A and B are shown apart, each in its own frame.
Chain A
Amino acid sequence: MKQAIAQITAPLINQNPITRQILGVCSALAVTTALDTALMMSVALTTVLCLSSAVISLLRHHIPHVIRLIVQITIIAALVIVIDEMMQAFAYELSRTLSVFVGLIVTNCLVLGRAEAFAMRNPVGPSVLDALGNGLGYSLILLVVGSIRELLGQGSVLGVVILRPTDDGGWFQPLGLMQLAPAAFIIIGLLVWAVRSVRPEQTEPAQHRVPKARGL
Chain B
Amino acid sequence: MAEPRPSAWRFLARDNDDPVKIVGMAFAVALGCAVVVSSAAIVLEPRQAAHLEAARAARMAAMLETLPGMAEVLAETGADSLSTYLVDLASGRIVPGADAENYDMAAVAADPETMVEIPPALDVAGLRQRAPFAPVHILERNGDVELVVLPVTGTGYQSRISALLALQSDLTTVAALTITGQGETAGLGARIEDPAWQALWPGHEVFNDNGEIVIAVVRGQASGPYEVDGISGATRTGNGVTNMLRYWLGEHGFGPFLQRLHTEGL
**Contact residue among B16, B21, B44 (Cβ-Cβ distance under 8 Å from A86):** B44
How big is the B interface, by class? Answer: 20 to 34
Cβ–Cβ contact A88 & B44, under 8 A: yes
Q: How far is the CA of A117 from the CA of B22 in the complex (A)?
A: 21
Residues of chain B lying within 8 A (CB to CB) of residue A59? 29
Q: A153-B187, A179-B188 are in contact. Are A62 and B40 (CB under 8 A)?
A: no
B16 and A33 contacting across the interface, CB-CB below 8 Å: no
A63-B16, A81-B37, A92-B55 known; A179-B25 Cβ under 8 A = no
Q: Are B51 and A89 in contact (CB under 8 A)?
A: yes
A62 & B25 in contact (Cβ 8 Å cutoff): yes
Interface: B36 (CB within 8 A): yes
Asked if A187 lies at the interface with its beta carbon under 8 angstroms from chain B, I say: no
**Chain B residues within 8 Å of A180, by CB:** 185, 187-188
Residues of A within 8 Å of B17, CB to CB, are 64-66
Given contacts A34-B186, A67-B26, A86-B44, 9 further A-B contacts (CB under 8 A): A62-B21, A64-B17, A66-B17, A71-B29, A74-B30, A82-B40, A88-B51, A89-B44, A92-B51
- Which single member of B22, B40, B41, B233 contacts A67 (CB below 8 Å)? B22
- From A62, A63, A70, A174, B187 is in contact (CB under 8 Å) with A174
Given contacts A33-B186, A86-B40, A89-B47, contact A77 B26 (CB under 8 A): no
Query: How long is the Cα–Cα vector from A90 to B186 in the complex, in angstroms?
Result: 23
**Distance between Cα atoms of A177 and B34 in the complex (Å):** 42
Cα A67 to Cα B199 in complex, Å, equals: 57
As a 0/1 sequence over residues 37 to 59 of chain B, the CB contacts with chain A under 8 angstroms (1 = contact) are: 10011001001100100010000
Query: Is residue B98 contacting chain A, with contact meaning CB distance below 8 A?
Result: no
Alpha-carbon gap, A70 to B233, bound state (A): 43
- Alpha-carbon distance A139/B240, docked complex (angstroms): 36
B177 to chain A, nearest CB (A): 20
A99 within 8 A of B: yes
> Min CB distance, A33 to chain B, in Å?
5
Among A64, A88, A176, the residue within 8 A (CB) of B233 is: A176
30 contacts between A and B (CB under 8 A): A33-B186, A34-B186, A62-B12, A64-B21, A66-B17, A67-B26, A70-B26, A71-B29, A74-B30, A74-B33, A75-B29, A75-B33, A78-B32, A78-B33, A79-B36, A81-B40, A81-B41, A82-B36, A82-B40, A86-B40, A88-B48, A89-B47, A92-B55, A153-B187, A154-B187, A178-B187, A179-B187, A179-B188, A180-B185, A180-B187
Docked Cα-Cα span, A88 to B41, in Å, equals: 10
For residue B183, CB closer than 8 A to chain A, the reply is yes
Chain A residues with Cβ below 8 Å from B47 are 89-90
Q: How large is the interface on A (under 10, 10 to 19, 20 to 34, 35 or more residues)?
A: 20 to 34
Measuring CB to CB, which residues of chain A are less than 8 angstroms from any residue of chain B? 33-34, 59, 61-67, 70-71, 74-75, 77-79, 81-82, 85-86, 88-90, 92, 99, 153-154, 167, 174, 176, 178-180
Judge whether A64 and B30 touch: CB under 8 Å. Answer: no
Q: Could you tell me the distance in whole angstroms from the C-beta of A151 to the nearest C-beta in chain B? A: 13
Nearest A-chain residue to B18, judged by Cβ: A64
* Interchain CA distance A88-B36 in the complex, whole Å: 17
CB neighbours (8 Å) of B21 from chain A are 62, 64
A63-B185 in contact (CB<8A): no
CA distance A70 to B41 in the complex (A): 23
Contacts of A176 in B (CB 8 A): 187-188, 233
CA distance A204 to B22 in the complex (A): 39
In the bound assembly, the distance between CA atoms of A141 and B206 in angstroms comes to 48
Complex CA distance for A99 and B159, rounded to whole angstroms: 12
Which A residues are in CB contact (< 8 Å) with B196?
Answer: 167
Bound complex: CA of A89 vs CA of B36, how far in Å? 16
Q: Given the interface contacts A70-B26, A71-B26, A85-B41, does A99 sit within 8 Å of B187 by beta carbon?
A: no
A89 to B40, CA, bound (A): 10
B42 and chain A: residue at smallest CB distance: A85
Residue of A nearest to B159 (CB): A99
> For residue A88, which residues in chain B have a CB less than 8 angstroms away from its CB?
44, 48, 51
